[in-house]
Amino acid sequence: MVHRGSITALVLALAFALAPAARAQAPVVAAAAFSASCAVPDADVATSGSLASLGAKLKAGDPVKIMAIGSSSTVGIGASSRNHAYPSDLSGILAKALKGSHIEIINRGVSGEVAATTAQRIRDEVDVERPDLLLWQLGTNDALSRVPPDQFAETVNTTLDWLKENKIEVALIGLQYTSKLARDANYIAIRDVLFKIANERHILYIRRYAAMKFIARTRAKVRLLSPDHFHLNDLGYECMAEQVAHAVVASLFVKRFRPGAAR
Amino acid sequence: MPRPANAIDFWRGCALVTISIDHVPGNLYVNYTLHNFALSDASEVFVFLAGWAMRLVADGSAARSNPGAANWRLVRRSGRLYVSQIVFSLLALAILVLGAVVLNAPFLYDWNAAGTVFADPVRGLIGLATLLTQLGYFNILPLYVILMLMAPVMITIYRRWPMLLLPASLALYAVVLASRFNLPNWPAPGSWFLNPFAWQLNFVLGFSIAGKTGIGAFARRFRWPLFVVSLPILALGLLASQTHFAPISPQTPWIRLFVAFNKTYESPARLINMLALAAVVPGIFEVLHRVIAPVTSAFAKLGRNSLSVFCVGSLASLVGQIYRYVVGGGALNDTLILVCTFLVLWITAWYTEDLSPRWSLRWPSR
């Protein structure tokens, strides 16, 4: 889990770490705070993973490239414009949280895509763009296309192996929550497989399902979904971006794995 | 009368069936198609064979007696491919809308990258019309459109300076891989899934090896040594695909795509694996045709009518995807999808080849 309290500590640790060497170039770090509509308990944000290499590059003042890849939630389907897709929102949040940093976020979302197709694109896109961090949003279309969970797991694991060999850090972004899909056994099976993979491999895993479910159950007036009750709306993408930013900033300086909690 | 079954049409038919299977994600038979046993997949075979077929046309008496008219036919074919791409993309969108409405399944608006069009129809339609928006699994025809537009240039070079065609194609390929140039997507970000300026080498290789001169003559003269050399290459391809091996991407940008197993840019390893397949596999047709002629003839029929079969097959795969969402996967459902897809493809070929001429109806092109 990423603990909100621990973020403050991490921020302070970072400020301390940056002080002697790279004060002129390194970004000033502030916690990526949640807005009132999007705030969720620490346990529902993400499971822990280290993005230490990204942190080191930021600390050195180097420019970093983040590639957001995935399906409709990455494209921003349901948002009022492309500027409200989560990678766009994330760019603004990280710019504030990591002042002075040079972060480029590339959106490579393709709507409706299953993990196997994205896995092929990841290899192809990484060859061209060589990002420092890959944000891989996945699972929803595999569940709905009835991809067997073990086949899905194999696709994810082999891709993560390749990314690891290529020293590219990755954060997995899980499935969204809707009341209808919560009753779909295959959907839950894919969600659980993804959680298991992330936990076993100590990879940062954004617990989108848990966060959206918490907001849906505790704030009746907060609507994260567009009128089709499936895609996110502007607020949904803003909350997703805040959740990702929160987890990423907290993971920049995590060096060792801390066990996650229940999904 | 259609031409008798031959190896090219047969393997083309096999590639078409394989593509249809690969385009239903999660289905059982995806685990048994070519990409599980080699670095290359059916789309590479398909493009290689298209180049091969183009050489047969280029060397035909009609094309040699009137090269200008032959070139114009290629441009017209490019136009027909373009129209097919547009029509079948629109039909795919209609199927997704129908499925989304009938099944109350809004996520179907996203499938096959259709979300770009539905979310922003004004720019999405311009994207479709300009081929800068391509639905998922509908990426091969835009590649063909460009290849057909390039074909008159290729054939002109072949006629005037036959020894220059392959080096020119290789040079373009090398520049594209080193510079990472590709056509853009629009309005969605990114670039074409199959880069025509890289894939043209695959097409030219098919074109060149099909001939009885130059590299084609070399391939025939040293058929058996090439066969033997290809076996370990195929073994390595099998090993790499089974173990999901992919090389580490070098830090130096310009050499990255030469080393990778990149599909968009048709990296050398994939090409070499496909050439090894071409050196080993074709002879199998003769054996199979002697033993199971009705089956090989059925596949060859698909291959002879590749455009119509490919287009209808794309829609059949989409229906198969939706069917799996509704009914679920499993051996029974996936087998049913496979059988129905093959039947739909065969009926399409039969309609195109046998029925439409009799009814004076014409499919836009074979």
Whichever domain contains A241, its CATH number is 3.40.50.1110
Backbone phi and psi for residue A233, each to the nearest 5 degrees, phi listed first: -100, -175
- The 10 Å CB-count burial string (b at 16+, else e) for B257-269 is bbbbbbbbbbbbb
> pLDDT (tens digit, 9 = 90+) per residue, B35-60?
999 999 999 999 999 999 999 999 98
Instruction: Please name the residues in contact with A186: beta carbons below 8 A apart, sequence gap of 6 or more.
Output: A143, A144, A146, A149, B328
CB-CB: which of A72, A124, A231 is closest to B263? A124
Residue B39, Ramachandran bin (φ over 0: left; ψ between -120 and 50: alpha; else beta): alpha
Instruction: Quote ipTM for the complex.
Output: 0.89
> Does residue B202 form part of some domain?
yes
**Residue B275's closest CA among B47, B16, B55, B58?**
B47
3-state secondary structure of A108: strand
Q: Find residues 195-234 of chain A whose CB sits inside 8 Å of chain B.
A: 228-231
Any CB–CB contact under 8 A between B249 and chain A? yes
> Does residue B366 form part of some domain?
no
- Nearest-Cα distance to chain A for B1, in Å, is 41
> Does residue B2 form part of some domain?
no
The conformation of residue A118, written as its DSSP 8-state character, comes to: H
> pLDDT (tens digit, 9 = 90+) per residue, B160-213?
999 999 999 999 999 999 999 999 999 998 999 999 999 999 999 999 999 999
- Work out the average pLDDT over A86-114: 95
> Does residue A116 form part of some domain?
yes
> Does residue A261 form part of some domain?
no
> Does residue A148 form part of some domain?
yes
> Does residue A210 form part of some domain?
yes
Instruction: Please name the residues in contact with B236: beta carbons below 8 A apart, sequence gap of 6 or more.
Output: none
**Residue A156's closest CA among A189, A195, A186, A185?**
A195
Provide the residue range defining the domain that includes B169. Answer: 7-358
Burial class (CB in 10 A: 0-12, 13-18, 19+), A253: buried
The answer to whether B205 and B275 have CB atoms below 8 angstroms apart is yes
> Does residue B1 form part of some domain?
no
> Does residue B365 form part of some domain?
no
> Does residue A257 form part of some domain?
no
What is the model's pLDDT at position A255?
59
Distances (CA, A) of B227 to A93, B46, B296: 58, 21, 23
For chain B, the domain total comes to 1
Q: Which pair of tokens denotes residue B352?
A: 């195109």
> Does residue A212 form part of some domain?
yes
> Does residue B363 form part of some domain?
no
> pLDDT (tens digit, 9 = 90+) per residue, B305-330?
999 999 999 999 999 999 999 999 99
Backbone phi and psi for residue A169, each to the nearest 5 degrees, phi listed first: -75, 150
Q: At A237, which helix (H) or strand (E)?
A: helix A234-251
- Nearest-Cα distance to chain B for A179, in Å, is 14
Q: Is the pTM of this model over 0.80?
A: yes
- Nearest-Cα distance to chain A for B361, in Å, is 36
> Does residue B120 form part of some domain?
yes
Round to whole Å and give the CA distance between B159 and A49: 60
Provide the residue range defining the domain that includes A148. Answer: 4-251
> pLDDT (tens digit, 9 = 90+) per residue, A23-80?
445 666 666 678 999 999 988 989 888 899 999 999 999 999 999 999 999 999 999 9
| B-chain residues near A72 (CB < 8 A) | 107, 110, 115
Any CB–CB contact under 8 A between B23 and chain A? no
> Does residue B30 form part of some domain?
yes
Chain-chain contact of A112 with B26 (C-beta, under 8 angstroms):
no
For chain A, the domain total comes to 1
